[in-house]
Structure 1
Amino acid sequence: MGNMDMNEIDHFMPILMEREEEAEATPLVTHGSSHFMWIKHSNLYLVAMTKKNANASLVYSFLYKIVQVRHGFPRLLFQNVFNYC
């Protein structure tokens, strides 16, 4: 899919947890040449990954739109949606 190896996401949570412990969490996490743009909604992290020069504003707008769609369907569970992706 796209320009990323899907195994790259395995690096995201350990890096983020380490940075949160050190109070250095930022909305953009870099690991090697991989960049993770993320938001947290309730207990769910929504993450976009890229190795290329992505438009961060557009990516964050998209992530927040996903959250807005969720609010439009209160009975919709994110887990159910992502099980079908």
Structure 2
Amino acid sequence: MISTLVIFNHKGDILILRQYRDNIARSEVQAFGNRVIATKEARERGPVVTVGSAHFVNVPFGDITLVAATKDNANCALIVKFLYKFVDLLRAYLGGNTLDENQIRKNFVLIYELLDEVLDFGYPQIMEADILKKYITQGSAKNVVDLNDTEQLKKITVAATGATSWRAEGIKYKKNEVYIDVV
């Protein structure tokens, strides 16, 4: 799916680069930035640009551009949707409606943590801000987990593996029922 995710500024300089596979070199990404982003060609060409054998799916947002690069035959609509959802996620974490170069530079550690959570080997995972805010905090004071407390460790495991945005934690039913229509 996504081999490399990059955030460029309006000059084509790399602000954030996260590689999930090693089939796209940094030089190819930098060439795309110099050739397409810096010359404003990406806005004219559309969201998918092919340079050599690499496909670059880009979404401009203000003075930054989010780019996902792949060499595979990937679903470009899914990648574009992911990039827009990632912009929404960044806005939820960083606050405000605009994203600029200064916000990206100030919060690069947080952005790398988010990228590690939302993409697993280039495949999109959890994109809900409410769920991610439980695990990725902006402050430096994080909750310390007592490794000897097995009850606390069980809660963390269940919360991390069973996290869904449409169902709150701790809901219990008296009867577990399944209805099946047989035709």
Q: Who is 1:44 aligned against?
A: 64
2:74 counterpart SS class: coil
Instruction: Provide the rounded CA distance (Å) in 2 between the counterparts of 1:35 and 1:78.
Output: 24
Instruction: Provide the rounded CA distance (Å) in 2 between the counterparts of 1:11 and 1:5.
Output: 10
Q: Select 1:19's aligned residue among 35, 41, 44.
A: 41
Amino acid across the alignment from 2:26: M
Unmatched 5+ stretches in structure 2: 1-18, 113-183
Q: Select 2:82's aligned residue among 46, 62, 74.
A: 62
TM-score, length-normalised on structure 2? 0.39
Q: Who is 2:155 aligned against?
A: none
CA contact (8 A) 1:34 1:51 kept: yes
Change (3 A) 1:58 1:41: same
Q: Who is 1:78 aligned against?
A: 104
Q: Deviations for 1:52-78, whole angstroms, at most 9, x for unmatched residues?
A: 111101111110011111232316823
1:53 counterpart SS class: coil
Instruction: Provide the rounded CA distance (Å) in 1 between the counterparts of 2:82 and 2:105.
Output: 18
The structure that has the greater radius of gyration is 2
Q: Select 2:28's aligned residue among 8, 26, 43.
A: 8
TM-score, length-normalised on structure 1? 0.77
Paired residues in the alignment total 82
Unmatched 5+ stretches in structure 1: none
- What RMSD, in angstroms, separates the aligned Cα atoms of the two structures? 2.3
The alpha-carbon deviation at position 12 of structure 1 amounts to 1.2
Instruction: Provide the rounded CA distance (Å) in 2 between the counterparts of 1:53 and 1:80.
Output: 35
The alpha-carbon deviation at position 28 of structure 1 amounts to 1.0
More helix by share: 1
Indicate the percent of aligned positions where both proteins have the same amino acid: 32
